[in-house]
Structures are given as structure tokens and as C-alpha cells.
């Protein structure tokens, strides 16, 4: 019994140099996609959650602690988005690098431009609020650029030998995204001012960027499921403001959204919370904007 | 890292010397150290001179509160009805017809410094205040090691070191409450553990504790002074977990412990296996629904005075969450004998150690079934209704128990274990 175990350990030790590249773990698929673009061939990136999963309620599966155990860099969204599950994994991972204060922990909210930062007293009677700001900041491509640059800086610190490459990748990503942003803004100018209903208040960055107006959210308060009286009021508001779009991540329930759509003629857009496997941030944004434009221009 | 290297250097001076790269470096060290000491002294003076400006920049309310530990309160109050004399075993179980103030648990958590994390749970009940856990854990040991020290619940099985608000049922399982006492298996001691470098999650946990004399009747020591090592309790557990695709997860554990019995010289051995199978369709289905099958089996061998007694028990439970708010579960339990009642069979002789073996007939098993329905408006509040049917040896009628529990959680947002 002991001998095979020893051999396995020895094999793992010998095998280790073959995987000498930098290992990155990202809490959400969008951050994983950014890390892949910036890291290029030098890094392997694992996302701790799927685009079909609500990032507030990820299970702290022990297998994720194994991923974090081997990670050189943990990229997180911060602002308490992952507070219900990430601390358990960090504490179980036996990896001081990815603990608070470690070299390999990057909280992207420290570099993003944030909205809805609480200025007065905070109170959970207002729902599941995030006092540090709305954590869904990656729906604004400007924030994606800032996060990509921060990931490049973190990778450069960890793997100085390839620092120039990471910076170059981040610059290329940024330049490419700038060109795309210009195209997106041009394309979306036609629907500027359109009224949108959201399920959870996770789209404020996108709506502000594109000049869309939020009529309301299906959740009466963040994290609280729709109630009949609130939906009745929302229905009135949608009709008054001619809201043509109901926007929600695919992991939220959609029965109420479809009911509202049937009654108002609006289109329900259900989009994964981030890029699917093999897709880039720009792919995801492109898909999202196309669907918004189509829905908003529908006669 | 540095303190550990320092500790190694102190305890293993020979090894440290041997590790010096070259003799030349060793001879030069004396002069170098003088130089380093002078430089450090100069640095310290410079730092002190620069000091007055830094705190002013940090001043303000945020600066003063910045190092406060995270605080949270979990409160549980229950109403219950029992059809007969209640026989609940857990310390925080509703235990009479009427209202029970189960507990108010104050959680205190903080990083201590770059080397330790501290966590404490102080429980207020109608009987008074008790420090259930107060434990420091290392954060930066090499080789995937972690050392915890303080007062804590051991990692035996699955439910033992989880606090009642993380359970799927209101009351403690019969088997753990019987074998480990009303509070669970815990005490003051140390717990080294290692995450084994395998492709799947494998953690090996060991602990040595002085069992808590007040709380843990089965292991209670008469005199609290530990004069011999056999008054300590030794526990080992191996925990493994496998991802079965993105939607399924399987956890298996094996645990064993040995500790003192009720009287000097008595020994108690407990072994257990636990499993946890969860289905949650995160890859495209309804992310807010899940089904969990969980169970533990424990067996115990005790020597009490001259008698050897064996008993065992299990619980198995199935919980279904159909959305973020609603869940329901069923649980079945069996406890082979109502310890420490021992029945002596006259026809059985003594073994080579002079022990008399005791067999407890199977119809003395205690059987309990429970169903529960839970409504959790948010992560911070929860209402749970539970119905028990308890068949207790020696009673003609089953004991029916109905419990309704309200739980609130305020303060720092807790993270949930899997």
C-alpha cells in the first residue's frame, strides 16, 4: 500500500516541471476569459463557476479548493459577490499566495470604475446589497480593459520572465476592444434611450454605457424574488414607458419574465452570465448587444 | 514563512548548519551580522523619524474600525410539542413542549497576522454562556499543512463540526449525540491536517484533544487533570471528494477515534463512515434546485469497568431544494442500544482479558424518522417545521414531536461549507 503511494508522489513531483506555466483561477467565467486573453500560451486558466451559475450562490465544492491549492493567481470580482463561498475555499486551499495579503490574489473591483457605492448607512432591509458598489461591473467594456491590465500586472509580478508578453497581450486586448467599442457604440446609437426591464440589478453598467434606461427590476429588492404587487406595478410602468426588453442572466427563473413579455409584447433576453467555454469577452458582448438591438428595433 | 524557518533553525541547529551553502559563507557571517545589525538599527531610527506622518494620513473612523474582527450573530428559537416525555439528545434541541431559546451564537473571525487566522463561536443559552470554539489556524505552513490549536469540534464524520444552523434538520442525530455527548465531539487541543497532493480532494485530519468534561459525558474524566496520555482523545479522519461532471459531487469520509471512558482505565473506540452525494444542475438546468443524500454510520466499542460493550447507529437523510427559498427533507435514524444501558447475558463467559462481552438484543434499537419543510426568505432568515416519530425502547407508544424553528443571522455574511 505504501509503495504505490510513494511512487505516485514521486511521479507527481517529477511531473511538476512539465506544468511550469502559471496557473490562474478566476471566480467567474468573464474574468477567466480576460485572463486567457492576457495570459496567452503561458498560463492555464480555470473558472470556479460556469456562465450558467449564479455567482452569488456557487457551491464551495472541495474540488475547487484543489484548484485553488495549485493556483499561482486567484482573480476575483470582489465587492462581496463571492462572499458566500470563496472564503471557505481560500481557507481550505492551503495556499498562502491566494489568501488576503498574498501575492497571488487580485480583486478586480480595486481597479474597476464602480457604480452604486453606498454612501449612507447600509441595511439588509434593503435586500442583499453590496456596500462597496454594484459588483456586476464587467458589463462595461471599459472595466474589462482595466481588469485585463490589472491581470497583466499581476501575471508580470508572478512570472517576471514573461512580463513583456503579458503587457503586450493586455495592450492588444485593449486596442482590439477599443475598436470594437467604437463599432458597438455606433451600432447601438439607434436604440439609445430604449427602456429596459432587468431581473436583477446587474446591468446598470451596460445600460449607462449604452444610454438605455432601466424601467425597473423584477426583483422588488436585490435577492428578493418577484411578488405579485410588484410585478403588477412593473407591468404598468412597462406599458407607460414602452419597454421592449426584459434582460436577465439565464440562471434566473424566467416564468414571470415571459408572462410580462406576453402582456406587453416585450422580448425576454436570457444570456449566460459570461462567455461560454472557448468564447471571448468580445464574443459574449457582441451576442448580447445584437440581441438587445434586435429586440429594441422589433416593430 | 519566516517564523517556521526560524523554528526549524532553533530546533535543528545541526541541520541548519549543514544547509549552509559553503564554509566561506559561514566564516564571513560574524562580520556580516554586525553590519546587518547596524543597518537595521539605522532603518529603525529612520522609520521612527518618519512615523508621525503615516498615522495621520490613516486617521478617521475607517482607520479605527479597520481592524475590528468580523462579527455575526445566529439566533434560534423554537416552539415544540411532544406527545409524551421528550427524549431529545442534542444540547440545542427543542426539548419540551413549549418554547425553547435554543441559542444565540456570536461568531468572531479575523486574520491575526500573516501566519494565523482566528475564529471563535460563543454561545449564549438559557443556561449561560459557553465558548464552543476558539481556535487559531495557521495560514502559511509549507507542504499543504495546516495546524489548528484551541478549543474546537473535531473533524470526525460530517455533521460533528458543523454548527446547528448548517444542519438540514432541527435536532442533532441520535447516534452522534449519544456517542459524542450533547454538544458533539470537541475539546481543547491541536489538529494538524494535510491536503494530499492527488488529482482529487483528499484531506487527512488528525487531532489530539482533552475532552471537555462538562459537555461530553461519554468521555468525561473524573479529575480534569491530565496525568496520563490515555486521558486524551486521538482522532483521525480522511475526507475525499470527487466531481462527477459539473452537476454531481460525491464526498466520502472515514473517521476513527479513541479516548477515555467514564472511569479511569476505561477506553472508548469510535469508527465511522460518511457519505454526501449532491446533484445540482449548474450546467444549464435550474441552478437554484438541488438534491442531497447524506448519511453517516458510527460504531463504538467501550470498556466500562470490566464490561465490553458494542453499539452502533446511523442516520440517512435526503434533502430537496426546489428553489432558492423552499426545501424539504426526510431522515431515518437507528441507534442499536440506548447507551449506557448495558444488559448482561449470563451465558457469555469472559475473554482472555477478563472482559465480559455484552450483546444487546436488536429489538432494543431506537428508531426515529423525521420530515422537515423549510422556508428561507433570504440567506439570513429561515423558518423550519419538523415532525419526528421516535420509537424508544421500553415505551409502548411512539413519541411524536413537532418543532417549528425560527433562525436569524445578522452581521458579517458567513460563507457556507459544501
Q: Cβ–Cβ of A62/B288 closer than 8 Å?
A: no
Chain B residues closer than 8 Å to A93 by CB: 195
Q: Cβ–Cβ of B200/A92 closer than 8 Å?
A: no
Q: Cβ–Cβ of B283/A251 closer than 8 Å?
A: no
Contact with chain A for residue B137, Cβ under 8 A: yes
Q: Could you give the 3-state DSSP secondary structure of residue B100?
A: strand
Chain A residues closer than 8 Å to B415 by CB: 60, 83-88
Q: Which of A69, A87, A124 sits opposite B144 (nearest CB)?
A: A69
Q: Which residue has the higher pLDDT, A1 or B84?
A: B84
Q: Do B398 and B389 touch, CB atoms closer than 8 A?
A: yes
Residue to substitute from A63, A95, A100, A126, interface B, most B β-carbons within 10 A: A63
Residue A299: C-alpha distances to residues A215, A263, A295, B147, B311 (Å):
19, 16, 9, 66, 74
Q: Do A177 and A144 touch, CB atoms closer than 8 A?
A: yes
The secondary element (H helix, E strand) that includes residue A74 is strand A73-76
Q: What is the full per-residue pLDDT of chain B (418 aa) written as tens digits?
A: 444 444 444 443 333 333 333 344 444 566 676 777 677 766 666 655 544 443 333 334 456 678 899 999 999 999 999 999 999 999 999 999 999 999 999 999 999 999 999 999 999 998 899 999 999 999 999 999 999 999 999 999 999 999 999 999 999 999 999 898 888 999 999 999 999 999 999 999 999 998 876 544 556 555 545 556 677 899 999 999 999 999 999 999 999 999 887 666 678 899 999 999 999 999 988 889 999 999 999 999 887 767 788 889 999 999 999 999 999 999 999 998 754 444 444 445 555 555 555 554 545 899 999 999 999 999 999 999 999 999 998 899 999 999 999 999 999 888 788 8
The arithmetic mean of pLDDT across residues A206-214, rounded, is 97
**Helix, strand, coil percentages for chain A (3-state, nearest 5):** 55, 10, 35
Q: Which of A65, A84, A92 sits opposite B379 (nearest CB)?
A: A84
Restricting to B residues 92-121, those with a Cβ less than 8 Å away from any Cβ of A are 111, 114, 117
Q: Do A93 and A65 touch, CB atoms closer than 8 A?
A: yes
Kindly give the residue spans of alpha helices, DSSP state H, lying in B281-402.
none
Chain A residues closer than 8 Å to B377 by CB: 224
Nearest CA to CA, how far is B344 from chain A (Å)?
Answer: 41
- Please count the other Cβ atoms lying within 10 Å of the Cβ belonging to residue A102: 16
**Per-residue b or e along B138-159, where b marks 16 or more CB atoms closer than 10 Å to that residue's CB:** bbbbeeeebebbbbbbbbbbbb
Q: Cβ–Cβ of A9/B197 closer than 8 Å?
A: yes
Q: Cβ–Cβ of B287/A62 closer than 8 Å?
A: no
The whole-model pTM stands at: 0.85
Q: Residue B212 has what pLDDT?
A: 72
Q: Do B242 and B249 touch, CB atoms closer than 8 A?
A: yes
Q: Cβ–Cβ of A52/B287 closer than 8 Å?
A: yes
Q: Cβ–Cβ of B278/A86 closer than 8 Å?
A: no
Query: Could you tell me how far CA A267 lies from the centroid of its own chain?
Result: 23
Distance from C-alpha of B36 to C-alpha of A118, rounded to nearest angstrom: 48
Amino acid at each position: 500500500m505504501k509503495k504505490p503511494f510513494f511512487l505516485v508522489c514521486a511521479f507527481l513531483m517529477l511531473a511538476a516541471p512539465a506544468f511550469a506555466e502559471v496557473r490562474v483561477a478566476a471566480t467567474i467565467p468573464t474574468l477567466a476569459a480576460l485572463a486567457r486573453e492576457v495570459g496567452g500560451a503561458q498560463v492555464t486558466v480555470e473558472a470556479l463557476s460556469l456562465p450558467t451559475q449564479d455567482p452569488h450562490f456557487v457551491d464551495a465544492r472541495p474540488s475547487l479548493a484543489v484548484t485553488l491549492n495549485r493556483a499561482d493567481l486567484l482573480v476575483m470580482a470582489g465587492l462581496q459577490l463571492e462572499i458566500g463561498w470563496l472564503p471557505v475555499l481560500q481557507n481550505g486551499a492551503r495556499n498562502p499566495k491566494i489568501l488576503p495579503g498574498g501575492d497571488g490574489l487580485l480583486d478586480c473591483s480595486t481597479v474597476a470604475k464602480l457604480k452604486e457605492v453606498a454612501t449612507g448607512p447600509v441595511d439588509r432591509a434593503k435586500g442583499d446589497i453590496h456596500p462597496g458598489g454594484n459588483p456586476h461591473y464587467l458589463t462595461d467594456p471599459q472595466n474589462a480593459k482595466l481588469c485585463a491590465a490589472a491581470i497583466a500586472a499581476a501575471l508580470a509580478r508572478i512570472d517576471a520572465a514573461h512580463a513583456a508578453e503579458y503587457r503586450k497581450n493586455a495592450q492588444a486586448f485593449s486596442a482590439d476592444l477599443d475598436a470594437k467599442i467604437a463599432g458597438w457604440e455606433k451600432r447601438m446609437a439607434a436604440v439609445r434611450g430604449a427602456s429596459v426591464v432587468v431581473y436583477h440589478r446587474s446591468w446598470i453598467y451596460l445600460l449607462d454605457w449604452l444610454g438605455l434606461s432601466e424601467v425597473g427590476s423584477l426583483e422588488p429588492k436585490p435577492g428578493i424574488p418577484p411578488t405579485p404587487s410588484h410585478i403588477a406595478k412593473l407591468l404598468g410602468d412597462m406599458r407607460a414607458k414602452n419597454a421592449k426588453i426584459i434582460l436577465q442572466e439565464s440562471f434566473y427563473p424566467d416564468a414571470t419574465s415571459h408572462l410580462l413579455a406576453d402582456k406587453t409584447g416585450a422580448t425576454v433576453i436570457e444570456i449566460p452570465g459570461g462567455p461560454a467555454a472557448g468564447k471571448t469577452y468580445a464574443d459574449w458582448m457582441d451576442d448580447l448587444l445584437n440581441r438587445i438591438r434586435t429586440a429594441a428595433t422589433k416593430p | 514563512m519566516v517564523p517556521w524557518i526560524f523554528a526549524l533553525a532553533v530546533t535543528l541547529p545541526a541541520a541548519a548548519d549543514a544547509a549552509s551553502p559553503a564554509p566561506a559563507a559561514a566564516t564571513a557571517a560574524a562580520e556580516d551580522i554586525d553590519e546587518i545589525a547596524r543597518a537595521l538599527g539605522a532603518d529603525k531610527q529612520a522609520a521612527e523619524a518618519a512615523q508621525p506622518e503615516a498615522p495621520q494620513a490613516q486617521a478617521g473612523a475607517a482607520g479605527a474600525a479597520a481592524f475590528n474582527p468580523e462579527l455575526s450573530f445566529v439566533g434560534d428559537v423554537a416552539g415544540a410539542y411532544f406527545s409524551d416525555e421528550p427524549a431529545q439528545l442534542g444540547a440545542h434541541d427543542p426539548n419540551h413542549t413549549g418554547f425553547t431559546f435554543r441559542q444565540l451564537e456570536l461568531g468572531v473571525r479575523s486574520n491575526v497576522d500573516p501566519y494565523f487566522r482566528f475564529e471563535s463561536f460563543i454561545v449564549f443559552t438559557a443556561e449561560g454562556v459557553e465558548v464552543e470554539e476558539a481556535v487559531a489556524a495557521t495560514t502559511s505552513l509549507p507542504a499543504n499543512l495546516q495546524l489548528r490549536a484551541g478549543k474546537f469540534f473535531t473533524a470526525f464524520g460530517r455533521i460533528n463540526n458543523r454548527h446547528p444552523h448548517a444542519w438540514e434538520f432541527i435536532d442533532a442525530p441520535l447516534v452522534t449525540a449519544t456517542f459524542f455527548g450533547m454538544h458533539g465531539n470537541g475539546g481543547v487541543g491541536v489538529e494538524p491536517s494535510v491536503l494530499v497532493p492527488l488529482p482529487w480532494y483528499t484531506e487527512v485530519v488528525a487531532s489530539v484533544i482533552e475532552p471537555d468534561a462538562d459537555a461530553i459525558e461519554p468521555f468525561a474524566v473524573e479529575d480534569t487533570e491530565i496525568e496520563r496520555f490515555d486521558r486524551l482523545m486521538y482522532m483521525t479522519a480522511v475526507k475525499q471528494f470527487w466531481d462527477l461532471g459539473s452537476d454531481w459531487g460525491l464526498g466520502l469520509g472515514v473517521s476513527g477515534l479513541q479516548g477515555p471512558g467514564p472511569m479511569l482505565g476505561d477506553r472508548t473506540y469510535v469508527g465511522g463512515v460518511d457519505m454526501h452525494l449532491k446533484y445540482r444542475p449548474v450546467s444549464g438546468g435550474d441552478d437554484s434546485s438541488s438534491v442531497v443524500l447524506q448519511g453517516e454510520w458510527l460504531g463504538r466499542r467501550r470498556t466500562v469497568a470490566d464490561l465490553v460493550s458494542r453499539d452502533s447507529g446511523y442516520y440517512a437523510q435526503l434533502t430537496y431544494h426546489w428553489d432558492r427559498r423552499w426545501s424539504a427533507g426526510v431522515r431515518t435514524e437507528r441507534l442499536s442500544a440506548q447507551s449506557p444501558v448495558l444488559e448482561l447475558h449470563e451465558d457469555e463467559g469472559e475473554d482472555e482479558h477478563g472482559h465480559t462481552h455484552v450483546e444487546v438484543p436488536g429489538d432494543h434499537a431506537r428508531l426515529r424518522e423525521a420530515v422537515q419543510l423549510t422556508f428561507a426568505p433570504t440567506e439570513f432568515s429561515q423558518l423550519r417545521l419538523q415532525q419526528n416519530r421516535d420509537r424508544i425502547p421500553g415505551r409502548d407508544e411512539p413519541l411524536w414531536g413537532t418543532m417549528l424553528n425560527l433562525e436569524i443571522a445578522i452581521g458579517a455574511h458567513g460563507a457556507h461549507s459544501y
